[in-house]
Amino acid sequence: MVQKLETLLETPSQTAGPYVHIGCIPSFAGLEGVYPEDLGLRAIEEGAKGEVITITGSIYDGTGWAMRDAMMESWQADAAGLFPGRAGADPKVIGFCRFAADKDSGEFTLTTVKPGATPTRAGGLQAPHIALWIVARGINIGLQTRIYFEDEDNTSDPVLSRIEQRNRVDTLLAKKTGAGQYRFDIHLQGAQETVFLDL
């Protein structure tokens, strides 16, 4: 026998299911009036500093079908690289946003400011990115990934640098489609499978 460890195991995840909207964004489910408004409706308030951008995309399952029932959450720093709640952070940047794939087209849209680079524990910098968490029916534990930007210097980012198959780095880069417009598609499986993270 040895001494007993006190560490607890994490509660197991379960799929968010097809009706995740009821709990997280009830107006999307057609459920009005319980809350004044859905939580996480917007990532920024009017007047946020920095470049306001719109990121559009779809989440494709292994058959190439754009999922109609996924929900996403994003979390990010402000334009100066400070996370909301920290001293000096832009009070107009909420940083957290909830959005869903459209019921008909499967497309999602996130409007926010482009984040700044953020420090690492080792004293380096992470390239500008938005953390993303994806849940849906059929996803048994929420998927973590990141949106980086193809028009930023990503060369020394510690996460991107760890991707062995360099051809997969591209799956984390939002593509510029116009002024302040980006496209970010997510593939759950297949040759273009998005790099999902465990961190």
Partner 1 sequence: MSEHPPRYRDQGPLIPRNRAAHPVPYDPDYKTSVARSPQQPLLSMESTLSEETGPRFGHSTLGPLDNNLILNHSKDPARPAMGERILMHGRVLDETGRPVPQTLVEIWQANAGGRYRHVKDGYLAPLDPNFGGCGRTLTDDNGYYEFLTIRPGAYPWPNRGNDWRPMHIHISVFGHSFGQRLITQMYFEGDPLINRCPIAATVKSRSQLDRLVAPLDMAKARPLDFLAYKFDIVLRGRRQTMFENRMEGL
Which of positions 119-158 make contact with partner 1 (CB under 8 A)? 119-121, 123, 126, 129, 131, 133, 135-144, 146, 158
What distances in angstroms separate CA 4 from CA 8, 10, 11, 12, 37, one per listed residue?
Answer: 11, 17, 19, 22, 47
Nearer to partner 1, 2 or 198 (CB): 198
Interface with partner 1: number of residues (CB under 8 A): 83
Q: Interface with partner 1 includes 159 (CB under 8 A)?
A: yes
Q: Using CB under 8 A as the criterion, what x/- string covers residues 160-189 for binding partner 1?
A: --xx----x-------------------xx
Nearer to partner 1, 158 or 180 (CB): 158
Nearer to partner 1, 53 or 90 (CB): 90
Positive/negative CA dihedral, 43, 48, 53, 54: positive
- What residues form DSSP beta bridges with 9? none
Quote the tokens at residue 163. Answer: 């991707």
Q: How far is the CB of 19 from partner 1 (least distance, A)?
A: 5
Are the C-beta atoms of 60 and 125 separated by less than 8 Å?
no
What distances in angstroms separate CA 104 from CA 69, 101, 139, 152, 189, one per listed residue?
Answer: 10, 9, 20, 33, 22
Nearer to partner 1, 20 or 48 (CB): 20
Residue bearing tokens 């420090």: 119
Nearer to partner 1, 179 or 198 (CB): 198
Site for partner 1 in 36-75 (CB under 8 A): 36, 39-40, 61-63, 65, 67, 69, 73, 75
Q: How far is the CB of 52 from partner 1 (least distance, A)?
A: 19
- What residues form DSSP beta bridges with 99? 72
Q: Which residue in 149, 151, 158 sits closest to 197, CA to CA?
A: 158
If you ran DSSP here, which 8-state letter would residue 60 be given?
A: E
Nearer to partner 1, 135 or 178 (CB): 135
Determine the 3-state secondary structure of 172 from DSSP.
helix
Q: How far is the CB of 194 from partner 1 (least distance, A)?
A: 8
Site for partner 1 in 78-117 (CB under 8 A): 83-87, 89, 94-96, 103
